[in-house]
Amino acid sequence: MTLSLYDASVPVFASMMRNMRAWLDKAAAEKDEATLLEARLAPDMKPLPAQYQMASDSAKNALARLTGTDAPAMPDTEQSFAELRERCDKTIAYLTGFDAAALAGSETREVELRFPNGMGYRWAGAAYLTGFALPNFYFHATTAYAILRNAGVALGKPDFLQHLGMPTSPPSSA
Amino acid sequence: MTLSLYDASVPVFASMMRNMRAWLDKAAAEKDEATLLEARLAPDMKPLPAQYQMASDSAKNALARLTGTDAPAMPDTEQSFAELRERCDKTIAYLTGFDAAALAGSETREVELRFPNGMGYRWAGAAYLTGFALPNFYFHATTAYAILRNAGVALGKPDFLQHLGMPTSPPSSA
């Protein structure tokens, strides 16, 4: 009745970043890139590039915090689909550099988020992953998808779920 | 380095359904309910009530499949915020009726999704939860949030993350 923190993090984050990268290819084939780069769902929500950047940050910071290491800096300078693809690739390469052994002990590792004002939050690693890192990651991944759909890009649920754990062979129809 | 399937499912689903219920209260105080009930992000995406219904389905079907039991039928007839709140409440009551012992063995339990055409997918329980049930649930929860934000409702990230695992007491600022 348990799940490894590795299985609950690295393949999940990496697969969704691969999906997010693929959405850019579909979007570029259908719509004007400059328009999509400015697209957002509400005036006080961030546009598409920031959703990619925050998904990347959520994933890489989760692995860094769970392993007690430093995540590579990625300074959020992306201004084109080519640069967003590169951000996805760098994030995926970082994530998939971890193996299950690297997450040994991460369930109980203390994770602290501290904000510039000195306040912050503290969790055990497992609670941080399920209660903050994963929902925050999915928030930004889904918001990126929602921005593209709202802008008329023809994505569908399979574009969101593919690679995530869909078995390649369906059961027999017997 | 492990996480219980209970911790990765019941409190996560139930907390987000509580958040989704609270979004309805904020939305009703700000905007016209009838307009919001028709709101969607794209002509070929489902409107707000369906996003609530599919989030509910994702969560209750996950627990039913992981425990090898039947989920209560909820026939997707909701046409008002009052009925959507009731749907949230029924879903939360069902989810929180499971305890950790009910998920014993669920990591390796075979889960099968079968579509009307006879095709389908088969997973071990842990892979089903991380690779299908959770991403599908977060997809619909975030899309509901995105519809409300796109319609001008003043929600913010704390409305999405609250209850999920945010510790109530921050670390000292020492």
Instruction: Give me the residue label for tokens 């749907």.
Output: B87
Nearest CB to B171; choose among A5, A112, A127: A112
Task: Answer whether B100 sits within 8 Å of A1, measured CB to CB.
Answer: yes
pLDDT of residue A166: 62
Residue B105 Rama label (left phi>0; alpha psi -120 to 50; beta): left
Q: Quote the pLDDT of residue B167.
A: 58
Task: List the single residue in B with minimal CA-CA distance to A11.
Answer: B131
Chain B residue with minimal CA distance to A142?
B139
How close, in Å, is residue A87 to chain B by CA atoms?
22
Alpha-carbon distance A159 to A20, whole Å?
A: 8
What are the structure tokens assigned to B142, written together? 């975030």
Q: Kindly list the averaged pLDDT for each block of 10 residues, start to end, along chain A of length 174.
A: 89 97 97 98 97 98 97 97 98 98 94 83 93 97 98 95 67 43
What pLDDT score does B164 carry? 79
Alpha-carbon distance B113 to B128, whole Å?
A: 10
> From CA A46, how far away is CA A39, in angstroms rounded?
9
Q: Which residue of B has its CA nearest to A102?
A: B1
Give B146→chain A minimum CA distance, Å.
Answer: 7
Work out how many CB contacts closer than 8 A connect A with B. 172
Interface pTM, i.e. ipTM? 0.93
What's the rounded Cα separation, in Å, for the pair A153 and A159? 12
Which of B7, B8, B138 minimises the CB distance to A138?
B138
Contact check, Cβ <8 Å, A121/B167 = yes
> What is the overall mean pLDDT for chain B?
93
pLDDT score at A172: 45
Ranges in chain B, pLDDT < 70: 1, 165-174
CB A84 within 8 A of CB A49: yes
Nearest CA in chain B to A115: B173
Does B139 sit within 8 Å of A143, measured CB to CB?
Answer: no
CB A45 to CB B160 under 8 A? no
Quote the longest CA-to-CA distance of chain B. 61
Tokens of B104: 């014993």
Give B74-101 pLDDT, tens digit per residue.
999 999 999 999 999 999 999 999 999 9
